[in-house]
Structure 1
Amino acid sequence: MKTLTVRLPEAVVAEIEAESRRRKLSKSDVVRERLTGAEKSGRREPALIDAIADIVGSVDRLPRDLSARTKKYLKSTGYGDKRTR
């Protein structure tokens, strides 16, 4: 395997180091996974989930099964109906 030296912003290095400690992998393994996209085949993508974690569940008074019955819910609210002017 060849060696490559890369300069990264401190924030990215901090992310890699934190993930390395959390997953108990070397920083090189974490970087390799990110470069090859191997992380995408895993169960979760931490960066995406972390980006929306603070808003998940933040909307009140929606039905629990909204994702399964979206059309029915929208129809019951009158969404898409023609309105008089």
Structure 2
Amino acid sequence: EMEQLKTFHYKKNELSSNIDNNERIEQHSCVICLESFNEGDSIRELKVCTHIFHKDCIDEWFSSKFNLNKRSCPLCSCDALNSR
């Protein structure tokens, strides 16, 4: 399932075409580790809500024993791995 998520390298001025510019501008840090995104960081984008996280952070989030049967976004709690 994780392989289906969009993975890319963070570029400060690059916006995804399917995301409202204001929403992406507001998210310049990972809410899991609270670290800012830096140029070249590996980032995953969730399918439904399009929130972005460091790849390692979101992978660990979904594989944690507390989250095994629940694939919710850490930011908005949507079912993050299902398509719209």
Considering the TM-score relative to the shorter chain, is it more than 0.5?
Answer: no
TM-score after normalising by structure 2: 0.31
More strand as a share of residues:
2
